């Protein structure tokens, strides 16, 4: 018996030692030169056609490039397009491709010719117009022949033309002075036909080839592994390899960062408690944690709001609620670290944009609006139903609004549903109001207004059901001028008129906080929340 016990003990020791050696070696190999970024969500695919969530977009932005993209100053700049020009009526756009843009090499998918050509651009944009393609919507509403192609009435998109091996032409059905901004998302990334055909359903999941600064290596468990593309046309990535790792638990992600096994992670609000302090609106790491963690924060393209069903809810009641809300209190309850009060739908991060909307609580104004409501509806108590869901602090925000409106005599019923159920209710128009948020892919205020506040986008994304011919005409006019500054000023006028109509109460926007290991430097982000790693390096 004793001998058996000793033998078992020795065996355990040997296996443990072997495991220790194996693991420490494999661990050091894996992390020596890789920049590891932690995500809280899985990315099942980053095929440009399926880039419907922010996590996939962040990954996709490293591998795929479109004609244009958003730089770290939130300006639209050329990606694989070197330059572009338009006709005077902004209905024809010609993009000139950069010379020497190459697709990533791939052992099994490698095409003979790896240089990007105009045919690749036409193929990619045609592919994006397939029925189940996420980026199809915004394109099919402006591109000539897109509808006919989608409906199977045409074999190709008539508005897409190869002019020469390095020039592509887009013909639009209406003026769009902001077309380069419309196609700046990584969802409009250029791919190669032979590669996509060979990879089939694996494209974007276990195989991917683009022209971006990083080339995809493999999917390993919950990691997506990339390496620097040495033939990248621009300033290459500053680190040799990159790993996006899914670690769902906030506490585990933070512990991994502190232990040095993650080098950066997108922080959620709960992760910041006890780690970060707010001083005069600026976030900084507490002294006790400064050795293990560094931070960077920046405003991103989002808005949290209470959306009214515009035609259903009485205008005086809408206005009363909009004036009665105390945004600071909402922020303190929901996102004390990252929230910034906002009164309009346009993100504060939009480059060159200055809002005309003034925000602030006006209780007298709210009472006056309520009096007007009561005069119109004698004997009817002001009442509203707020839909909330499990995402984006929707229910806590609803509860704060409920407590703020109660003293004014506005009765609020909170109805909690799943996110999908809320979207279903919005689609049917079966709601009074809903607490929800927008995460914009667009960086231009004009595109945001067009996509979310015109009659043609009802019921979604225009979940407000906000429809006014004058508003539609004003938004359409924003796309007809080539004067960028004038267009932005006019967009601010449209936003102000929109907010005055109170289709919703725009509560706050958030800034993204990134937690870093202190030995990492030079990582930048744009307001669409994509990492830009060209200057990333390790401190010596």
Contact positions vs other proteins (CB under 8 A): 1, 19-20, 22-24, 26-27, 30-31, 42, 44-45, 50, 52-53, 131-132, 134, 136-137, 140-141, 150-151, 201-202, 205, 220-223, 245-249, 251-252, 255-256, 259, 261, 417-418, 420-421, 423-424, 427, 441, 451, 456-461
Q: Which two tokens stand for residue 419?
A: 């996110």
Shortest Å, Cβ 313 to other proteins: 21
Q: Cis ω on the peptide bond leading into residue 22 (within 30° of 0)?
A: no
Q: How far is the CB of 529 from other proteins (least distance, A)?
A: 15
Please, which residue, 13 or 252, has the CB nearer to other proteins? 252
Distance between CA 205 and CA 202 in Å, rounded?
A: 5
Which residue lies nearer to other proteins by CB, 27 or 336? 27
Residue 21: burial class (beta carbons within 10 Å; 0-12, 13-18, 19+): exposed
Q: How far is the CB of 49 from other proteins (least distance, A)?
A: 9
Query: Whose Cβ is closer to other proteins: residue 179's or residue 203's?
Result: 203
DSSP 215-251: EEEEEETTEEEEEE-TT-SSSPPSSSEEEEEE---HH
Instruction: Specify the residue, 151 or 364, whose C-beta has the smaller distance to other proteins.
Output: 151
Nearer CB in complex with other proteins: 90/244: 244
Cβ proximity to other proteins, 40 vs 269, nearer residue: 40
Beta carbon nearer to other proteins, 252 or 486? 252
C-alpha to C-alpha distance for 331 and 318, rounded to whole angstroms:
21
Tell the smallest beta-carbon distance from residue 360 to other proteins (Å): 30
The residue among 53 and 534 lying less far from other proteins, judged by its C-beta, is 53
Secondary structure E strands in 229-361 = 241-246, 264-267, 276-279, 282-285, 294-299, 302-308, 339-341
259 vs 136: CA distance, rounded Å? 43
CB of 209 to other proteins, least distance (A): 17
Phi/psi at 538 (5° precision)? -95, 135
Closest Cα to residue 391, out of 414, 427, 417?
417
CB of 291 to other proteins, least distance (A): 16
- What are the strands, taking DSSP E only, across 67-107? 68-70, 76-78, 81-86, 92-97
Cβ 458 to other proteins shortest distance, Å: 7
Are residues 446 and 483 in contact, defined by beta-carbon separation less than 8 angstroms?
no
**Encoded tokens for 517:** 């290991």
- Least separation, in Å, of the C-beta of 1 and other proteins? 6
Using CA atoms, how far apart are residues 336 and 70, in angstroms rounded to an integer? 28
Scan for tokens 């338009």, then name that residue.
86
Nearest to 519 by CA among 252, 177, 263, 296: 263
Residue 2 or 358 with smaller CB distance to other proteins:
2
Helix (H, G, I), strand (E, B) or coil at 514: strand
Cβ nearer to other proteins, comparing 12 with 99: 12
H helices, E strands: number in the chain: 17, 24
Other residues' Cβ atoms within 10 Å of the Cβ of residue 171: 17
Name the pairing type of β-strands 76-78 and 276-279. unpaired
| Least distance from other proteins to the Cβ atom of residue 152, Å | 10
Residue 249 CB, shortest distance to other proteins, in Å, is: 5
CB of 11 to other proteins, least distance (A): 14
Nearer to other proteins, 365 or 461 (CB): 461
Closer CB to other proteins, 58 or 327, in the complex = 58
Residue 210 C-beta: closest distance to other proteins, Å: 18
Give me the long-range contacts of 396-399 (CB less than 8 A, separation at least 24).
396/333, 396/334, 397/304, 397/306, 397/330, 397/333, 397/334, 397/435, 397/507, 398/435, 399/333
CA distance 419 to 307: 15
Alpha carbon distance 67, 183 (integer Å): 7
Distance CA 530, CA 441 (A): 11
Question: In terms of CB distance, is 4 or 108 closer to other proteins?
Answer: 4
User: How far is CA 12 from each of CA 4, 18, 22, 24, 184, rounded to the nearest angstrom?
Assistant: 12, 10, 15, 18, 57
Q: How far is the CB of 255 from other proteins (least distance, A)?
A: 4
Residue 190, Ramachandran bin (φ over 0: left; ψ between -120 and 50: alpha; else beta): beta
């Amino acid at each position: 018996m004793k001998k058996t016990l000793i033998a078992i003990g020795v065996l355990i020791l040997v296996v443990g030692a072997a495991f220790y050696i194996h693991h420490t070696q494999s661990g050091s190999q894996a992390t020596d030169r890789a920049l590891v970024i932690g995500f809280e969500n899985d990315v099942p695919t980053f095929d440009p056609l399926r880039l419907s969530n922010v996590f996939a977009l962040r990954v996709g932005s490293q591998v795929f490039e479109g004609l244009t993209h958003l730089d770290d100053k939130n300006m639209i700049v050329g990606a694989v397009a070197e330059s572009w020009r338009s006709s005077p009526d902004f209905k024809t756009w010609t993009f000139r491709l950069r010379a020497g843009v190459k697709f990533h090499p791939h052992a099994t998918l490698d095409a003979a010719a790896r240089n990007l050509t105009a045919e690749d651009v036409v193929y990619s944009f045609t592919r994006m117009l397939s029925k189940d393609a996420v980026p199809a919507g915004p394109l099919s509403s402006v591109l000539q022949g897109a509808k006919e192609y989608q409906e199977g009435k045409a074999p190709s998109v008539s508005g897409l033309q190869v002019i020469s091996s390095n020039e592509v032409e887009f013909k639009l059905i209406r003026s769009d002075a902001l077309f380069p901004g419309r196609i700046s998302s990584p969802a409009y990334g250029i791919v190669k036909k032979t590669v996509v055909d060979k990879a089939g359903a694996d494209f974007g999941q276990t195989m991917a080839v683009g022209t971006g600064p990083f080339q995809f290596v493999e999917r390993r468990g919950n990691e997506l592994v990339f390496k620097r593309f040495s033939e990248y046309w621009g300033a290459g990535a500053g680190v040799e390899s990159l790993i996006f790792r899914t670690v769902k638990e906030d506490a585990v992600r933070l512990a991994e960062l502190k232990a040095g096994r993650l080098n950066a992670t997108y922080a959620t609000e709960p992760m910041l408690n006890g780690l970060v302090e707010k001083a005069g609106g600026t976030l900084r790491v507490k002294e006790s944690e400064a050795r293990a963690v560094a931070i960077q924060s920046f405003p991103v393209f989002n808005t949290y709001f209470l959306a009214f069903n515009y035609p259903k809810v009485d205008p005086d009641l809408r206005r009363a609620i909009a004036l009665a809300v105390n945004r600071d209190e909402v922020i303190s309850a929901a996102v004390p670290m990252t929230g910034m009060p906002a009164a309009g739908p346009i993100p504060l991060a939009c480059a060159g944009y200055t809002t005309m909307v003034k925000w602030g609580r006006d209780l007298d104004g709210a009472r006056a609006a309520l009096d007007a409501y009561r005069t119109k509806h004698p004997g009817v108590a002001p009442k509203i139903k707020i839909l909330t869901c499990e995402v984006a602090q929707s229910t806590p925000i609803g509860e704060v609004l409920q407590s703020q409106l109660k003293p004014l005599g506005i009765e609020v019923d909170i109805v909690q549903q799943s996110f999908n159920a809320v979207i279903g209710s919005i689609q049917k128009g079966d709601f009074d109001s809903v607490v929800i948020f927008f995460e914009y892919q667009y960086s231009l205020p004009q595109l945001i207004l067009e996509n979310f506040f015109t009659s043609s986008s009802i019921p979604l994304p225009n979940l407000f059901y906000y429809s006014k011919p004058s508003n539609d005409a004003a938004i359409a006019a924003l796309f007809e001028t080539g004067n960028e500054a004038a267009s932005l000023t006019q967009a601010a006028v449209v936003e102000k008129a929109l907010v005055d109509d109170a289709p919703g109460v725009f509560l706050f926007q958030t800034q993204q906080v990134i937690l870093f290991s202190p030995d990492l430097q030079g990582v930048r982000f744009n307001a669409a929340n994509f990492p830009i790693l060209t200057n990333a390096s390790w401190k010596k």
